[in-house]
Structure 1
Amino acid sequence: MRLHRLELTAFGPFSGTQSVDFGTLSAAGLFLLHGPTGAGKTSVLDAVCYALYGSVPGARQSGQGTTLRSDHAAPGTRTSVTLELTVAGRRLGITRQPPWERPKRRGTGTTLDKAQTWLREYDATAGAWKDLSRSHQEIGEEVTQLLGMSREQFCQVVLLPQGDFARFLRADAEARGRLLGRLFDTHRFAEVEKRLAERRRATEAGVRDADAALLADAHRMQQAADGAMDLPELAPGDPGLADAVLSAAAVARSTAREQSTVARCGLAAAESTQSAAGRDLDDIREVDRLQRRFAQARERARLLDERADGHLADRRRMERARKAEAVAPALELRESADAEHRRAAAAETQALAALPDGLAEAGAAGLAAAARRTAEELGGLESARRAEQRLAALGTERAGLDRQDRADEDVLRDAATWLTDWETIRTALRARIETAQAAASVAEQLAAQRDPVRQRLTAARARDRLTGETEGAHGRALASAERALRARTHWLDLKEQRLDGIAAELAANLKDGESCAVCGAVEHPHPARKVAGHVDRATEERALAAHQRAEEEHAEDERRLGRVREELAAATAEAAGTPTGRLVEQAEELERQHTRARRDASDLHDAREALRRAELEHERRTADRQQAELRVASRLARREALERERADLEAELAQARGSSGSVAARAAQLERRVALLTEAADAVRVAEDTATRLKDADARLADAAFRAGFDTPRDAAAALLDDHAHRELQRRLDAWQTEEAAVRAVLADDDTAAAAERPPADLAAAERRSATASQRVREAASRCDAAARRCAELDRLSARAAEGVRRMGPLREEYERAARLAGLAAGTSADNERRMRLESYVLAARLEQVAAAATVRLQRMSSGRYTLVHSDDRSGRGRSGLGLHVVDAWTGRERDTATLSGGETFFASLALALGLADVVTDEAGGVRLDTLFIDEGFGSLDDETLDEVLDVLDSLRERDRSVGIVSHVADLRRRIHARLEVVKGRTGSTLRQRD
């Protein structure tokens, strides 16, 4: 990477536009950047860093870049930095402009412009610059990829801060580790340490969970063993826990099996006693049952003797009922014949009463002959009935023709009335359509005017809201800026107090026999003492952290204020300065006009539909009128034909009706007479037949009663029983016989008789003895079951615990392996003798490379006296790996770098910085760094050492490098001819270049 030209405007202390031609300065190899303190030498380097990365080193970067602007710059001048450089064979131009508060183009106040970035590349073939990108992200990625290093690495490698490297020489291993970690990006190794630690914690938690589950099973086994199991006094994770639990489980299982054997023996004895008591109880129950059976049989025999007379009467009644059953068919036949005769006689009387006088005594034959004569007369009226029906149909048809005439007259009248108004209706509908079309056109025009007014109204309301939000955000930004200033002042005060007492802080670490870090002496006769109120490092770091938090809060408030101001500017521009109330009135008026126009235009579809329906109605009415006229003409001819047929039928019917009103009435009269005569003849004939059957039935009944032994048919009927009475009587007779047989059988049984002669059985005592034996069996069985369940539960829990121990084996091995690896990587394991972390090990290798590269230049600067070496020895109780010592060739001793004097520290830190630049360059892919800057530190060198250092720096030209020295040492202006001077003035600083 080689710098060619830098142009900066309103940046830092520079109020105007300043240019630096690095091409001319680099031609001499060494050039000097000098000027009085506070003039802005470091700001030139900040401008280079800002052009490349969009930010400046360290605490000088605040907010979104707004603090980079020069306080001396004119309000209308925008801050800008342009850098031209060659990297990876490509000549690029980068321009960056941070955000700034510029004056408004109209009115008063300011508005925030966003940051802008341009990336260009010079096309040597075309001889012109071409734009590559304007995206902050794309440009940042492109620059980082080309340079191969981050901003922090660039600031350490290209802008060599000698003060940082002097502190690096004296720092402890932890501080060196932080710097090297940022430069060499070793976070992946720290991530490996973290992952191993997380894996160790995860597997340790798994082992503890498994042990906890094993202990839970042990407690369950203790409960199952009813407290007869001794648990080991171990916690989850303790070694030997699994063996102790399994041993205790084995003892508990053995004890439970012994208890189960004893319980089974007790159960067998109890069951034997229960069996004997049960047999005795069965015998006594049998005796008691037989005695009660004999007593019940004697009682039942007594009751049978008392009911003997009733039983004899039931037997006699059953015998008479069985004799009467032979007469039952004759009785049923006589009752059926009598019922039929009574029904026939009633029907005969009713039929004869309906006949005309003189026919009731004609008999069945006379009535049948009269019915035949009347039927013949009815057959002669059939033709007249058909004629009469036809005449009625003609009347119905004529009435239908009259209704159709009336309907067609209504149709013709309505059609004539509607067609008369047709032209008026059509004209009105067409006018309605034209009015709606005009309203639709007006609505479209108003809609086009309404939307812009709505947008401006929304912007005006946002403008009013954002005005208040801007004032609030501005107030918060001022308050956070004040807090940040107070925090910075507090931190600087504490830092100054600590530096004032640093001697006492260094003296606290002095030990007899060890060299002083300041003077190198091993005797410390008068070490400084800490005074009351001394500020230590922790207090200073807390103040620094508070200052950084306040700066971050202020930056966030500034960003929020910028966003609100941007939104306010956009809303103000869109509202165009019109008051919100006026825009509301315009929007409401346009809305009212648009609503009226849309309402009028909404009738267009209805009007067109009404016209279409009216035209269809006109066509229908015209067609209906024509069809009605045709139907009227057709019905006129039909009516004339019907009149002729009606006259013929009237003449025929006048002869057939006779004295009746109609042929139908005459026919109905004759039909009723035929029906009455026929019904009467049938009734007389049926009554005569039923009388004959009744007489035969009376004769058969008398004969059957005599044969069955009854004096009269009435006695036989009285002896008969219905089905229910017969079943009930038979049931009583059967029950008597069954009971009598059962009683005889019981009284004749030998066992029952023998039991009756024995003393009464004591069943309650036998039952008490049996119950007592059963209770003892249940208790013994319960104890046996409990012992069996205890054995089964202990076997199950022991098997589960053994399975858990078996499964836990691989997990414990994995935990031991993870713990061993995590301890090695973290430097806490006993196997890691130097207590070196993995990341420190990697950084130690890098530090060893840096020390080797730095020694090449340090030996030349110190005339071969000093050599930088890496040390991985432990310091006190700290971890080893990042120690840095210097070997003094004059004494042959190796000592700490903190013992170097001020001048020696400068050229040692310079050599270290150059060595680090070489190593980081190689790490970044071998990108050539043709331009370097070295900041301060030369004032501590004597003339001879200064010459040696300048010779080393001048030797960098052998690799086509140019080195810029940033210093205000006057002797350097005499030794270095190519200079860039920063001139401080009341209106801002300026740059003056001398080649």
Structure 2
Amino acid sequence: MRLHRLDLTAFGPFGGTQRVDFDELSTAGLFLLHGPTGAGKTSVLDAVCYALYGSVPGARQNGQGLTLRSDHAAPGVRTEVTLDLTVAGRRLEITRQPPHERPKKRGTGVTVDKAQTWLREYDAAAGVWKDLSRSHQEIGEEITQLLGMSREQFCQVVLLPQGDFARFLRADAEARGRLLGRLFDTRRFAEVEKRLVERRRAAEARVREGDAALLADAHRMQQAAGDTMELPELAPGEPGLADAVLTAAALARSTARERLTVAECGRLAAASAQAAADRALDDVRELARLQGRFEEATGRARRLEERAGEHQAARTRLERGRKAEAVAPALDLRDAADAEHRRAAEAEARARAALPERFAEAGAAGLAAAARRAAEELGGLESARRGERRLAELTDERARLDRQERADDDVLTETESWLADWDTTRTALRERIESAQEAAARAERLAVRIEPAQRKLRAARLRDRLTGEAETARARVRAAEQRALDARAHWLDLKEQRLDGIAAELAAHLSDGAPCAVCGATEHPAPARKDAGHIDREAEDRALAAQQDAAETHGRELRRLADVERELAAALAEAGETPAETLAVEAGELERDHEEARREAGALHSAREELRAAEQEHERRTAAQRDAAVRAASRIGHRERLDSERATLEEELAQARGAAHSVAARAEQLERQVRLLTAAADGARAAEDSAERLKVADGRLDEAAFRAGFDTPRAAADALLDDTAHRELQRRLDAWQSEEAAVRAVLAEPDTVAAAQRPPADLATAERTAAEAAERLRRASSAQDAAARRCAELDQLSARAADGVRRLAPLRDEYDRVARLAGLTAGTSADNERKMRLEAYVLAARLEQVAAAATARLQRMSSGRYTLVHSDDRAGRGRSGLGLHVVDAWTGRERDTATLSGGETFFASLALALGLADVVTDEAGGVRLDTLFIDEGFGSLDEQTLDEVLDVLDSLRERDRSVGIVSHVADLRRRVHAQLEIVKGRSGSTLRQRS
């Protein structure tokens, strides 16, 4: 990596823009950065680091961003750092701007602009710079990848902070480990240690979990086996647990199988006893059943003998009923003839009651002849009835024609009146449509003019308001400018007065025997005294703060005035010089005219709809007028035909009506007479026929009763049974016979008779014996099932435990292997003789390389006296540390680096820094570092040692390196010709370069 150019703007103490030409400084190989304390020497290095990584080194990285900005910078100037460098064969330019706080463009207050970054690459073939990226993340990753080192490594390798390496020489092993860990990025080895510890814990947890599951299975087996299994007294993780559990499980399974065999034998014996008890119970139940059957049959026989009289009476009643069934048809026939005769007599009486008196004595034949004569007269009225119905139709048709004529007259009158005004109505509607169309066109033209007029009015009002604000802002700017000038003059006057009286201020800190800070003298014969008007530093600082506040206020007022004038110019360009009142009147008239035109245009649709409806109404009325005229012409001939036919029918109907008011009334009278006469004739004939049939039925009934053995028909009727009574008697007789047969059959059974002769059966005792045998069998079966379940559960749990032991074996092997590795890398294992952690081991190797690289330069700086060596002696807690010793060739003894003097510590730390730079460079992939910086520490060297150190630094040019020394030691200005001087001033620091 070689630096070419660095541009600074408003960064740190530099208020303006400064440039560092590293190409010119690097020509000599060794150059000096010097200047008074606080001028900004370290800020140049901070700018290089900020350009590369976006942050500054060490503790100064906290609070960056707005704090990187120079207090001397003008408000409108933004902080910016640009670095031109070559790295990995590529010429790059990096520009960074931190967040920038500035006043808001509109309103009051401040806003913060985001940080920005640019990366460009120089194309040598085309001779131009090409943009690569503006992304902070992409640029950071690109630079880190090209340099091959982090910001911490860069600050240790390129900037070489000597104070840090002096502390490194005197630090303990732990502090050295932290620094080397950051530089060589040995976090991966620490992660290996951590990962191994985590894997050991995870493997241990899995082993313990497996052992716990195995013990849980053992507890389940103990519960299943009862009191026949003893658990091993081992905790999860202890050796031998698996073998103990499997052995106990095998013993429990053997005992359970023996108990199962005993339970099976007991169940077989109980089953045999229960079968015998069941057979005995069946025999007792059969004996009890037969004895009960015989006793029941004996009781039924006694009940039959008691009901023998009832049985004989039912038999006699049934036989009389069967005889009466032969008389039943004659009885039914006589009852039917009697009922029919009564109905016929009643119907005849009702029919004769409706006839006139002249037919009271007429017989059936006379009534029938009168009915025929009335029917013949009724048939002659059928033609007259049709004529009467036709006359009614003619009357209705004539009335309908009259109604149509009146309706058509009304339509013609109304239509003629409406059509008379049609031309006037159509003309008026067309005029309304044309007026609305003109209004719509006018509204469109006015709408185009409204928005510009309103915009111009708003601009005029804004112009008038901003005119007053601009005058006020100009006055505030003039006042703020005057206050800023007065405050600056006051601050400069106070600073001048303080500088004039600085001798008295310095003399106030003098004491006898102490050297003067100015001349170094220890005697102070006439120290200056403060006068009454002496200005101290606090007064000067207050004046400076007041001057800065006044300058900021002046800047804010200027920005506010610029904003107002810009807005005023825009408003003038829009509104011109026309007064706002005139523009308001014009805009109001436009809006009123536009509203009126829109209102008139709104009637266009309704006018068009009215015209369309009127045209449709005109067509409808014209068609109605034409149809009414056609109907009136056709009605004249139709009316004449109706009147002629009506006169003819009225003459014919007058003859057919006779005394009735209509033919229909006369026909109704004849129809009723025919109906009554016919009914009376039919009733008379029916009465005569029913009387004859009743007489015949009485004779047949007497003959049937005599043949059946009854004295009278009434006796036969009393003996007759209905179906229900007959079925009931027959059922009782059948039941009696069935019961008698069943009793005789039971009393004839040999088994039943033999059982009745035996003692009574003891059923309760037999049932109790069978129940006890069944309970013994149930208990024996339950015991066998429990023993079988115990065996099955123990087999299942044993298989599960055996499977768990098989799965646990590789986990235990893994745990043993990982535990050995974790103990080895953590330094706690007995195999690790030096008790050294893995990360410390790697860092010790790196420290050994650094010590070897540093010794090559330290021997030249110390004229061959000192050599740096790494020591792996055990430190605190018995572990090997990162010791660093120096070997003194003059004494031949090895001692701790903390015993070096101040000057020896400086060149030893410088040699260590250069050696570390070489090792870290190789570790980063061999990135070439062509530019290095060494910060302070040269003031502690004597002249001879300083020459030797400079010779070593000058020898770096052999590798085409350039080294920048940051120091304020005056002797170095004489020895190093290429210089970059930082000059401190009131308006900020500036750079002065000399080759």
Q: Is the 8 A contact 2:267 2:784 kept in 1?
A: yes
**Match of 1:369?**
372
SS of equivalent to 2:918: helix
**Match of 2:228?**
228
**Match of 1:936?**
936
Query: Structure 1 pair 628/835, CA: closer, same or farther in 2 (3 Å)?
Result: farther
**Residue 648 of structure 1: how far off its partner (Å):** 2.4
Q: Is the 8 A contact 1:3 1:23 kept in 2?
A: yes
- Give TM-score scaled by structure 2 length: 0.75
SS of equivalent to 1:70: coil
**Are 1:623 and 2:626 matched, yes or no?**
no
Which has more radius of gyration? Answer: 2
Query: Structure 1 pair 130/258, CA: closer, same or farther in 2 (3 Å)?
Result: closer
Q: Is the 8 A contact 2:851 2:915 kept in 1?
A: yes
Q: Is the 8 A contact 1:827 1:879 kept in 2?
A: yes
**Match of 1:517?**
none
**Residue 384 of structure 1: how far off its partner (Å):** 1.9
**Are 1:312 and 2:315 matched, yes or no?**
no
Distance 1:184 1:73 in 2: 40
What is the CA deviation profile of residues 351-407 of structure 1, one whole-angstrom value per residue up to 9, with x for unaligned ones?
555556656645375266336524531443465256336425624642662575377
**Match of 1:394?**
397
Letter in 2 for 1:140: G
Q: Is the 8 A contact 1:851 1:869 kept in 2?
A: yes
Q: Is the 8 A contact 1:834 1:881 kept in 2?
A: no
Within a 5 Å distance, the mapping from 1:615-764 to structure 2 comes to 615-658=611-654, 659=657, 660-670=660-670, 672=672, 697-764=697-764
Distance 1:573 1:290 in 2: 132
Q: Is the 8 A contact 2:83 2:93 kept in 1?
A: yes
Query: Structure 1 pair 409/191, CA: closer, same or farther in 2 (3 Å)?
Result: farther
SS of equivalent to 1:616: helix
**Residue 318 of structure 1: how far off its partner (Å):** 1.6
Within a 5 Å distance, the mapping from 1:168-317 to structure 2 comes to 168-317=168-317
**Match of 2:946?**
946
**Match of 1:786?**
786
SS of equivalent to 1:152: helix
Distance 1:844 1:276 in 2: 96
Distance 2:158 2:252 in 1: 77
Q: Is the 8 A contact 1:855 1:868 kept in 2?
A: yes
Distance 1:879 1:690 in 2: 149
Q: Is the 8 A contact 1:866 1:888 kept in 2?
A: yes
**Match of 1:508?**
none
The CA RMSD over aligned residues, in Å, is 4.6
SS of equivalent to 1:777: helix
SS of equivalent to 1:96: strand
**Match of 1:23?**
23
What is the CA deviation profile of residues 73-92 of structure 1, one whole-angstrom value per residue up to 9, with x for unaligned ones?
55565433333333345544
Distance 1:179 1:973 in 2: 33
What is the CA deviation profile of residues 310-360 of structure 1, one whole-angstrom value per residue up to 9, with x for unaligned ones?
121111112222223334444444545555555555555545555566566
SS of equivalent to 1:921: helix
SS of equivalent to 1:946: helix
**Residue 159 of structure 1: how far off its partner (Å):** 0.8
Query: Structure 1 pair 344/118, CA: closer, same or farther in 2 (3 Å)?
Result: same
Q: Is the 8 A contact 1:447 1:594 kept in 2?
A: no
Q: Is the 8 A contact 2:264 2:784 kept in 1?
A: yes
**Match of 1:803?**
803
Within a 5 Å distance, the mapping from 1:938-977 to structure 2 comes to 938-977=938-977
**Match of 1:465?**
none
**Match of 1:155?**
155
Q: Is the 8 A contact 1:214 1:801 kept in 2?
A: yes
SS of equivalent to 1:235: coil
**Residue 290 of structure 1: how far off its partner (Å):** 3.9
Distance 1:120 1:574 in 2: 39
**Residue 44 of structure 1: how far off its partner (Å):** 1.7
Q: Is the 8 A contact 1:852 1:868 kept in 2?
A: yes
Distance 2:420 2:435 in 1: 23
SS of equivalent to 1:933: strand
Gaps of 5+ in 2: 459-555, 569-588
Letter in 1 for 2:626: L
Letter in 1 for 2:321: A
Q: Is the 8 A contact 1:936 1:965 kept in 2?
A: yes
- Give TM-score scaled by structure 1 length: 0.75
Within a 5 Å distance, the mapping from 1:318-717 to structure 2 comes to 318-340=318-340, 342-354=342-354, 358=358, 361-363=363-365, 365-366=368-369, 369-370=372-373, 373-374=376-377, 376-381=379-384, 383-384=386-387, 387-388=390-391, 390-391=393-394, 394-395=397-398, 397-398=400-401, 401-402=404-405, 404-405=407-408, 408=411, 412=415, 607=603, 609-658=605-654, 659=657, 660-670=660-670, 672=672, 697-717=697-717
| Identity among equivalent pairs (%) | 70
What is the CA deviation profile of residues 542-575 of structure 1, one whole-angstrom value per residue up to 9, with x for unaligned ones?
xxxxxxxxxxxxxxxxxxxxxxx9xxx9xx9999
Identify which range, 815-824 or 708-717, moves more after superposition. Answer: 815-824
Query: Structure 1 pair 81/696, CA: closer, same or farther in 2 (3 Å)?
Result: same
Distance 2:700 2:759 in 1: 71
Distance 1:74 1:204 in 2: 67
Letter in 2 for 1:805: V
Distance 1:402 1:225 in 2: 120
Query: Structure 1 pair 50/627, CA: closer, same or farther in 2 (3 Å)?
Result: same
Distance 2:667 2:591 in 1: 83
SS of equivalent to 1:28: coil
Distance 2:870 2:339 in 1: 146
Query: Structure 1 pair 799/104, CA: closer, same or farther in 2 (3 Å)?
Result: closer
Letter in 2 for 1:412: T
Query: Structure 1 pair 759/126, CA: closer, same or farther in 2 (3 Å)?
Result: closer
Q: Is the 8 A contact 2:432 2:604 kept in 1?
A: no
Query: Structure 1 pair 753/130, CA: closer, same or farther in 2 (3 Å)?
Result: closer
**Residue 30 of structure 1: how far off its partner (Å):** 0.6
**Match of 2:82?**
82
Letter in 1 for 2:653: R
What is the CA deviation profile of residues 11-53 of structure 1, one whole-angstrom value per residue up to 9, with x for unaligned ones?
3333444433322221111112233444432122112212222
Q: Is the 8 A contact 1:5 1:84 kept in 2?
A: yes
Q: Is the 8 A contact 1:436 1:600 kept in 2?
A: no
Letter in 2 for 1:24: E
**Residue 632 of structure 1: how far off its partner (Å):** 1.2
What is the CA deviation profile of residues 219-266 of structure 1, one whole-angstrom value per residue up to 9, with x for unaligned ones?
222222234322223333333322222222222222222333333344
SS of equivalent to 2:982: strand
What is the CA deviation profile of residues 568-619 of structure 1, one whole-angstrom value per residue up to 9, with x for unaligned ones?
x9xx999999xxxxxxxxxxxxxxx999999999989985553443233212
Query: Structure 1 pair 328/254, CA: closer, same or farther in 2 (3 Å)?
Result: farther
Query: Structure 1 pair 769/662, CA: closer, same or farther in 2 (3 Å)?
Result: same
**Are 1:62 and 2:62 matched, yes or no?**
yes
Letter in 2 for 1:394: E
SS of equivalent to 1:33: strand
SS of equivalent to 2:920: helix
Query: Structure 1 pair 861/681, CA: closer, same or farther in 2 (3 Å)?
Result: farther
Query: Structure 1 pair 664/79, CA: closer, same or farther in 2 (3 Å)?
Result: same
**Aligned length, in residue pairs:** 866
Distance 2:255 2:605 in 1: 104
Distance 2:778 2:313 in 1: 62
Query: Structure 1 pair 340/271, CA: closer, same or farther in 2 (3 Å)?
Result: same
Identify which range, 957-966 or 208-217, moves more after superposition. Answer: 208-217
Query: Structure 1 pair 574/168, CA: closer, same or farther in 2 (3 Å)?
Result: farther
Identify which range, 965-974 or 876-885, moves more after superposition. Answer: 876-885
SS of equivalent to 1:715: helix
Gaps of 5+ in 1: 454-564, 578-592
**Residue 626 of structure 1: how far off its partner (Å):** 0.8
Q: Is the 8 A contact 1:33 1:979 kept in 2?
A: yes
